[in-house]
Structure 1
Amino acid sequence: MFDMVLLALAAFGAGVLNTIAGGGTFLTFPALVLTGVPPIAANATSTVAVFPGYLGGALGYREELRQLTRASLIRLTLITLLGGLVGSLLLLITSNDAFNLIVPFLLLFATLMFLYGPKLRQWAARHSANISAEGAVGLFMVSLYGGYFNGGLGIVLLALFSLWGWQNIHRMNGLKTWLSFALSAISVATFAVAGIIVWPAALLMMVFSVLGGYFGARVAKAIPQNAVRIIVAIVGFGMSAVFFARLF
């Protein structure tokens, strides 16, 4: 019962955080590990837990996505699917011991991306270039990371779009949400076929992450963004410290 309550609360909190600012992985992944789920399975199950929220977000950005040509949207989606598939397959061939060594660094990286994401986007905007072969390579590498570990994906995608020369934040958010959904879909399918998803935990967390997302839309209007950033940073650095401590 304690494990179920912990997972439900973590998923609800992740739904709230993802709606407001991102960072839900900082709650879902550690909660699964703390309840005894092996790291690889915890990462896969965490991906499933937050998966439904991306679709709802993508539907909310329908108008912005229509600003892209169909050919461009298909091309970018296919690159994302390929990168996500490769990243997910890399996760499958990683041992739990090796992943335990990598996780603290991934959590720390995701936390830093969350904190310095706006500055990273500003830097990228000053060094912008049009969508090109380099853009395709960049999107593939970001998607590979997202398929391997989902934390901080949205922030890195926004920075990448800035590097392409995009300035319309609504269109950027729309494409970010759609590509996150596509990437999560291929990851969930890969993990499901591999049989590493803990489905009872995943289904429970999916329900509460959706509820958290709905509640988060209301909370977002009441809590200052700086306060949210501080909360996410504390959680992110705290979880990083916990997983670094587990190495010793």
Structure 2
Amino acid sequence: MIEVVALLLVGVAAGALNAVGGGGTFVALPALVAAGLPPVTANASTTVALLPGAVTGAYAYRADIRPVGATTTRSLTVASLLGGGCGAALLLGLPASSFDAAVPWLLAFATVVLAFGRRLARVLDAALHRTTDMGPRAILVGQFLLAIYGGYFGGAVGILMLALWSAGLGIDAAAGNPMRVAQLAAVNAVAAGIFLVAADVLSDPVPLLAVLLGAAVGGFAGARVARRLSARVLRTLVLTTATTMTVLYFLRG
């Protein structure tokens, strides 16, 4: 019972963190491994467990979702669904060790881009005497590739989305956060569907259900809180989350 309560609280924290700034995977995944699930199963179970939180968060944000640049919400979501499916298939078909080794560097890159992306865009504008906004095709390709990563591992994929949109279009973290949550829901939905059919996520359902229920509550509550935060505060939270996760992953070795 103590373990179930602890996993419920982990789920609440992970769902809220995903809704506010991202990083819920890095709370839920270690907890599920500690509960006795094998790493790959825990990774797949994390995706399934965080899906309700992403869906409730997207619902709470539904009035604030805005298109990313010239892309439509539908086309961006299709890219997320296709990429998430490909990533889930890769997780089940390939060893995770090689990709896991690249995660700290991906997080470090995302953190730097989040911190300096808009400034870099202005510098490029001045140096090249042209706009640096990415076109819709480039945004969709980038979203598809990030969704593959999200379906395969998922850690900080929302932060990477914000990094892409910040560097490519100058979108602020607060303005992009509702769409980030919606696209996380799309990636997780297709990946979770594949994992439920083809992985062992239901072999030990109690830890999964505990985190899942907690994440649903945390995702909705976190989104409601994030909507009331200023752009500056939300950006600080996102950057703090990104920096913390990057440092922890490098220390983990």
TM bracket, shorter-chain basis: 0.7 to 0.9
> 1:176 Cα deviation (Å)?
1.5
Is the Cα contact below 8 Å between 2:133 and 2:168 reproduced in 1? yes
Deviates most, 83-92 or 203-212:
203-212
> 1:151 Cα deviation (Å)?
1.0
Identify if the C-alpha distance between structure 1 residues 120 and 3 changes in structure 2 by more than 3 Å, giving closer, same or farther: farther
Is the Cα contact below 8 Å between 1:26 and 1:239 reproduced in 2? no
**Per-residue CA distance 1:51-98 (angstroms, 9 max, x = gap):** 1122222223333336689x822211111111111111000102xxx3
Unaligned runs of 5+ in 2: 125-131
Identify if the C-alpha distance between structure 1 residues 109 and 16 changes in structure 2 by more than 3 Å, giving closer, same or farther: farther
1:206 matches 2:202: no
1:121 matches 2:121: no
Identify if the C-alpha distance between structure 1 residues 190 and 227 changes in structure 2 by more than 3 Å, giving closer, same or farther: closer
> 1:180 Cα deviation (Å)?
1.1
What letter matches 1:129 in structure 2? D
148, 163, 181: which one aligns with 1:177:
181
**Per-residue CA distance 1:26-75 (angstroms, 9 max, x = gap):** 11111111222111111111111211122222223333336689x82221
> 1:113 Cα deviation (Å)?
5.6
Count of residue correspondences: 237
1:162 matches 2:160: no
Q: For 1:214 and 1:136, how far apart are their aligned partners in 2?
A: 27
For 1:99, the equivalent position in structure 2 comes to: 96
Aligned to 1:36, the other structure's residue is in SS state coil
For 1:60, the equivalent position in structure 2 comes to: 60
1:42 matches 2:42: yes
Q: For 2:97 and 2:6, how far apart are their aligned partners in 1?
A: 21
Is the Cα contact below 8 Å between 2:53 and 2:217 reproduced in 1? no
Tell me the percent identity: 30
For 2:82, the equivalent position in structure 1 comes to: 82
130, 139, 142: which one aligns with 1:138:
142
Q: For 1:170 and 1:230, how far apart are their aligned partners in 2?
A: 14
> 1:103 Cα deviation (Å)?
3.1
Is the Cα contact below 8 Å between 1:105 and 1:240 reproduced in 2? no
> 1:104 Cα deviation (Å)?
5.4
| Alignment RMSD | 3.4
Unaligned runs of 5+ in 1: none
For 2:201, the equivalent position in structure 1 comes to: 197
